[in-house]
Amino acid sequence: MKFSAPAGTGTRVAYTLDTGYFGPTAAITTEITNLDVHGPYCTEPTGPGYVTIRDFRRRNRPAEHRCD
């Protein structure tokens, strides 16, 4: 899936797990509050200063977390 982000709004990415490797109930887990989503090269952010992570695995109840 491709995303187009307007200038100055950062980067949008999506991941799809390889069903040939991962089973239908597999998930990659981590504590998303501890992720360094800005990385070492983001010394002068031009975006809004936060990253929103959305988990759409449960379509009837998507989860959202904002990393400031």
- Total domains in the fold of the chain: 1
User: Could you tell me the pTM of the whole model?
Assistant: 0.33
64: domain range?
1-68
Q: Residue 63 has what pLDDT?
A: 75
The tens digit of pLDDT for each residue in 11-63 reads 566 667 777 888 878 777 766 666 665 566 566 656 666 667 777 777 777 67
Cα(47)–Cα(57) distance, integer angstroms? 27
Q: Residue 50 has what pLDDT?
A: 66
Which residues have C-beta within 8 Å of that of residue 26, sequence separation ≥ 6? Answer: 17
Of residues 30 and 4, more confidently modeled: 30
Cα(11)–Cα(5) distance, integer angstroms? 7
Q: Identify the residue whose tokens are 């504590």.
A: 31
Q: Residue 39 has what pLDDT?
A: 60
